[in-house]
Amino acid sequence: MVVRGLVSLLIFPGALFAVPMGWFMVWLQRRLNARLQGRIGPPFYQPFFDFIKLLAKERVTRSRLQGLVLTALPVLAVGATLGVLALLPVFPEHAKFSGDLVLLVGLIEVIPLAAVLAGFASRSLYGGLGATREALLGLMYNLPFLAALGALSVGAGSFSLSEIALKPMWAVRIPALIALALCIPVKLHMNPFSIANAEQEIYAGATTEYGGPRLAIWELAHDMEWVAVTGLWASLAFPVPHVALVVRLLVFVAISLALVVLLSIVGAATARLKLAQAARVFWQWGFGIGLIAFIIAVLAR
């Protein structure tokens, strides 16, 4: 169990896989957006060069306490993302532990919470505004997000991600996956829910005052979050137990990349919503679909 956990954390689907895959997903999203807008787009190695360039830049001088906080928050986000990756049920027949769904929900919420704290800790007008929007969006999308995961848990009769992935409950799984898919763009700061980091309004949102290595760590956390969030959806939507290892890896990667392509097309084709409009989408449609899945799960039990 210890060796398997370390492999999941450090190799697959952990750091060794997630870092280059996150860079590739970010490049794919940028490239698709550029093509759809009549531009060429960046080369595939651009996210890696951006990361190296930020590491080489000089840090802005801060007070000792503020510098410590501004450094600790992105490191915390990276650690939480690695934890989410390690818990993904890519190999559902190898259960992590009972109740890993609860831990995953807690870890996945550490990332936006760290962003909110970072925005306020920067003492910037734009950072504070971005942090406020991030917090409001969290209140909006968590309702359908938790309703969908709760429906899957009730349908499977377990808090284990592996049992949830293996349980044949498509009447519950389909609406729950739709509700989860609706929450992915806001977690990845994509249109039409890129409200917290609206570049034309508030620069970079909560991370406006970040630069150099600190910003590089934030970008790394965000790149890995692409793999974690799309991977969670892929592993719950198309579990492939008891087949060759290569087949599982190919299915996991293919579904994750297909989701990135779909989200990129939707993002390029839509405009940014206002907070009130986003609230209606999540509280009416997202929560409605999640609630339907929950009711079906309860009736099926």
Cα dist. 190→197, 199, 218, 248, 270 in Å? Answer: 9, 12, 16, 28, 10
Q: How many residues does the chain have?
A: 301
Supply the DSSP string of 74-101, one letter for each residue. Answer: HHHHHHHHHHHHHH--SSTTS---TTHH
Closest CA to 263 of 200, 158, 189: 189
Residue 123 has a pLDDT of 83
Residue 61 DSSP label:
P
Residue 228 host element (H or E): helix 212-237
- Is omega for the bond preceding 185 within 30 degrees of 0, making it cis? no
Residue 199 has a pLDDT of 66
State pTM to two decimals: 0.92
Helices 170-187 and 125-156 cross at an angle (nearest 10°) of 170
**Residue-level pLDDT, tens digit, the chain, 301 residues:** 778 778 888 888 889 999 999 999 999 999 999 999 889 989 999 999 999 999 988 877 787 888 899 999 999 999 999 999 999 988 877 667 788 899 999 999 999 999 999 989 888 888 888 889 899 999 899 999 999 999 999 999 989 998 998 888 889 999 999 999 999 999 998 888 888 877 656 566 788 888 889 999 999 999 999 999 999 999 999 887 777 788 888 999 999 999 999 999 999 888 888 888 999 999 999 999 999 999 999 998 7
Cβ-based burial of 79 (10 A; exposed 0-12, middle 13-18, buried ≥19) = middle
Please state, in angstroms and rounded to a whole number, the distance separating the CA atoms of residues 14 and 6. Answer: 9
Interior angle at CA 23, CA 97 and CA 268, nearest 5: 105
* Long-range Cβ contacts of 37-46 (<8 Å, 24+ apart): 37/268
User: What three-state secondary structure class fits 57?
Assistant: coil
Q: Is 270 within 8 Å of 194 (Cβ atoms)?
A: no
Give the number of C-alpha atoms closer than 13 A to the C-alpha of residue 80, restricted to the C-beta side.
Answer: 25
Residue 291 has a pLDDT of 93
- Residue 242 phi/psi, 5-degree rounding, is 60, 35
Residue 181 has a pLDDT of 94
Cα dist. 266→21, 155, 167, 269 in Å? Answer: 21, 30, 30, 5
Q: Is 23 within 8 Å of 224 (Cβ atoms)?
A: no
Please state, in angstroms and rounded to a whole number, the distance separating the CA atoms of residues 221 and 22. Answer: 9
Unique residue bearing structure tokens 């759809």: 36
Residue 95 has a pLDDT of 65
Please state, in angstroms and rounded to a whole number, the distance separating the CA atoms of residues 48 and 254. Answer: 22
185 is written with which tokens?
A: 């763009």
Closest CA to 261 of 15, 19, 24: 24
Residue 14 has a pLDDT of 87
Within the chain, how many helices (H) and strands (E) appear? Answer: 13, 0
In whole angstroms, what separates CA 270 from the centre of its chain? 20
